[in-house]
Structure 1
Amino acid sequence: MEATELLKKVRHIEIKARGLSRNIFAGEYHSAFKGRGMAFSEVREYQYGDDLRDIDWNVTARYNKPYIKIFEEERELTVMLMIDVSESLGFGSRSVLKRDMVAEIAATLAFSAIQNNDKIGVIFFTDKVEKFIPPKKGKKHILFIIREILGFEPNSKGTDLNMAIRYMTNAIKKRCTAFLISDFIDSADYSKALQIANNKHDIVAIQVYDELSTNLKSVGLMKVRDPETGGEQWIDTSSKRVRNAYRSWWENLQNNKNIAFRQSGVDNISVSTESDYVKSLLQLFQQRKH
Structure 2
Amino acid sequence: MFDRAARIRTGTLPALPPAGAETDPRVHVELAHLRKLEGRARTLSFLPRQPAGSALNGRHASRMRGRGLNFEELRDYLPSDDIRSIDWKVTARTGRPHVRVFTEERDRPTLIVVDQRMSMFFGSVLNMKSVTAAECAALAAFRILDQGDRVGGIVFGDETLAEIRPQRSRAALDRLLLAITRANALLRADAPKVAPVGLNDVLQAVGRIAPRNHLILVFSDFDVIDELTQKLVNALSRQNDLILGLVTDPIADDVPEGLKLVISDGELQAEIDTGNTTVHRDLREMSRGRLAEVLDWQRRYRVPVLPLSAAEDSLTQMKRLMGLGPR
* TM-score between both structures, scaled by the size of structure 2: 0.74
Structure 1 residues 63 and 200, CA gap change in structure 2 (3 angstroms) = closer
**Is residue 2:49 matched to residue 1:31?**
yes
Q: Secondary structure at the match of 1:81?
A: strand
- Amino acid in structure 2 at the alignment position of 1:13: L
Inter-partner Cα distance in structure 2 for 1:260 and 1:138: 33
- Amino acid in structure 2 at the alignment position of 1:262: R
Give the deviation of 1:138 after TM superposition: 1.2
8 Å contact kept, 2:74–2:100: yes
Structure 1 residues 3 and 48, CA gap change in structure 2 (3 angstroms) = same
- Amino acid in structure 2 at the alignment position of 1:158: P
Deviates further, 203-212 or 28-37: 28-37
Partner of 1:277: 314
5+ unaligned residues in a row in structure 1: which ranges? none
Partner of 2:39: 19
Inter-partner Cα distance in structure 2 for 1:214 and 1:231: 26
Which residue of 196, 201, 206 corresponds with 1:163? 201
**Structure 1 or 2: larger helix share?**
1
Higher relative contact order (CA 8 A, sep 6+): 2
8 Å contact kept, 2:126–2:312: no
**Is residue 2:243 matched to residue 1:222?**
no
Deviates further, 193-202 or 49-58: 49-58
Partner of 1:234: 271
1:250-277 deviations in Å (ceiling 9; x for gaps): 1211222223443222111111112243
Inter-partner Cα distance in structure 2 for 1:224 and 1:103: 24
Which residue of 230, 233, 244 corresponds with 1:205? 244
Partner of 2:282: 245
**Alignment length (residue pairs):** 282
8 Å contact kept, 2:253–2:284: yes
Q: Percent identity?
A: 23
1:213-248 deviations in Å (ceiling 9; x for gaps): 333323453312358xx6521122222222111111
1:53-104 deviations in Å (ceiling 9; x for gaps): 3235688799986553333322411101111121011111233111111111
What RMSD over aligned residues (CA atoms) do the two structures have, in Å?
3.2
Q: Secondary structure at the match of 1:3?
A: coil
Inter-partner Cα distance in structure 1 for 2:316 and 2:78: 46
- Amino acid in structure 2 at the alignment position of 1:99: S
Structure 1 residues 243 and 57, CA gap change in structure 2 (3 angstroms) = closer
Inter-partner Cα distance in structure 2 for 1:38 and 1:284: 29
5+ unaligned residues in a row in structure 2: which ranges? 1-15, 24-28, 51-63
Give the deviation of 1:192 after TM superposition: 1.1
